[in-house]
Amino acid sequence: MERVATDALRPGPRVRTSLPTVDGNRARGAGVHGKGATMHSGDGGRKARRITRCGSLIAIIGLFLSLLAPAFTAAQSASDWSPPSTVYIPETGQSIDGVFLDFWRGNDGYTSYGYPITPELEENGHIVQYYQYARFEYWPDDPNGEVVQLGKIGQELRPHVVLRNTFAIAGAVPQGGSSAEMAKMARAWLPLDGKSAKKPNTDTWRYVSETQHSVQYGFKALWESSGEADYLGNPLTEEYILSGITYQIFERGALAWQQTKDPWFVPLGEQLAKRYNLDTSAQDQGDIPTYDEALFIAPEPEPETPSITNNGGELWIEVNLSEQYLTVWQGDSVVNSTYVSTGRPGFDTPTGTFYINTMLESDDMEGVIGGEYYNVPEVPWVMYFTDVGHALHGTYWHSNFGSVMSHGCVNLPMDFAAWLFGVATIGTRVEIHY
């Protein structure tokens, strides 16, 4: 039995602990050969769908969530946040690092390539990593800057001598076919003759001149919908049948079909890993965070706390009833501001100059105004400025600030009320006007 040509050239793989950087930095959105396509329905159930070209991919941002990985015991603040450069995939016990991670995420990850099934290896002078449906290869000196390339794993199935070869890859092209089937499989690698190549293309059949093979029916539809040569590459064989399953090999993968089933992608990455006896055992996670897209969502920056200076002048409060807006001043400088809700018609907030006379962290407000009874328990951060119950206070029962809502008080957002309660004092001046 002949071996595929690449087997003779394949050195023993060397495991690498992490992917090298490009020019001292991780290459964000690295380019790729065989880009922008689809992906597999390798289990017969996942639906192939279009994904975009990698190009510059995306600007990588992320969230460092402490509960998602054993190494992270406290959430990072926005100021010192950065996305992880390596993530752990518990489904296969492998990790994805550096530009491989950028490319995997930028092209729909699992949906497009499956999960990694080996660590990073060094093969034929390049760092590679096998995935269920692909092999990522690192080409740092690529003249086009496409440092991540999809390996042409379909090419590695090509026999040395077509007519003598009767190999089969376990799972991808199952053994046990008849002699006639095996002979047809071997001949499927031969390019089409000139007569066949001149046939006109139709909706169900298409000649691919780059490799001198054709695609037809369901394989044609799936190949075209998944990006054609951009993902799978061009066909390397014609269709052939082994043990009742129809196969076709492409430059970067293989398709299969069986009666009553839709065509599916063959997990060639898994099959080649088995063929080359690569180590696919789970690796120790260590302090690597478990993959989750939440890791790549930046935390909201914490709002800056407005500063009050000792020599900045009088701290005073202005309430503009026309704008439903409150401004805190120190001297003639704005310290902080917010929309508020003041008294609705018939319950108007009084205008004039007032001074805070009572401050309570919480107060139960109950009474009758204008014939309306109200009872609001545990109102927070209360700052009374009249002797008849008008106050600035926190408001937990609505968030419709910027509109009149109250029975005469000045309703404040909760966080603003807490801040104002902390800087105001008994005697703070309150100016209210239209």
For position 68, what pLDDT does the model report? 40
What DSSP string runs through 334-395?
EEEEEE-B-BPTTSPPPPEEEE--EEEEEEEEEEEETTEEEEEEEEEEEEE-STTS-EEEE-
350-394 pLDDT, tens digit per residue, is: 999 999 999 999 999 887 776 778 888 999 999 999 999 999 999
- The first and second tokens of residue 361, run together, are 């962290």
Tell me the pLDDT band of 302, cut-offs 50, 70 and 90.
confident
Question: Quick one: how far is CA 281 from the chain centroid?
Answer: 26
Sign of the CA dihedral 418, 422, 427, 431?
A: negative
Consecutive H or E run containing 274: helix 268-275
Nearest to 159 by CA among 342, 14, 8, 338: 8
Find out whether 63 and 299 touch, Cβ atoms under 8 Å.
Answer: yes
pLDDT of 1 above 50: no
Q: Which of 120-124, 182-186, 353-357, 366-370 has the lowest mean pLDDT?
A: 366-370
Q: Which of 47-51, 132-136, 319-323, 381-385 has the lowest mean pLDDT?
A: 47-51
Q: E-strand spans in 90-133?
A: 94-97, 121-123, 126-131
234-279 pLDDT, tens digit per residue, is: 999 999 998 889 999 999 899 999 998 999 999 999 999 999 999 9
Residue with tokens 């695609």: 215
**What mean pLDDT, rounded, does the chain reach?**
81
Contacts of 388 (CB under 8 A, 6+ apart): none
pTM higher than 0.85, yes or no?
A: no
Find out whether 401 and 429 touch, Cβ atoms under 8 Å.
Answer: no
Tell me the pLDDT band of 214, cut-offs 50, 70 and 90.
very high
66-98 pLDDT, tens digit per residue, is: 334 343 434 455 668 899 999 999 999 999 999
User: How far apart (Å, rounded) are the C-alpha atoms in residues 432 and 319?
Assistant: 5
User: How far apart (Å, rounded) are the C-alpha atoms in residues 215 and 234?
Assistant: 9
For position 178, what pLDDT does the model report? 66
User: How far apart (Å, rounded) are the C-alpha atoms in residues 118 and 187?
Assistant: 33
Q: Which of 75-84, 114-123, 168-177 has the lowest mean pLDDT?
A: 168-177
Give the per-residue SS3 of 279-344: CCCCCCCCCCCECCHHHHCCCCCCCCCCCCCCCCCCEEEEEECCCCEEEEEECCEEEEEEECECEC
- The first and second tokens of residue 253, run together, are 């993968």
Q: Report helix, strand or coil for 123.
A: strand
Full set of structural domains in the chain with CATH: 5-296 (no CATH), 315-433 (2.40.440.10)
Within 13 Å, how many C-alpha atoms sit on residue 210's CB side? 9
User: How far apart (Å, rounded) are the C-alpha atoms in residues 169 and 237?
Assistant: 15
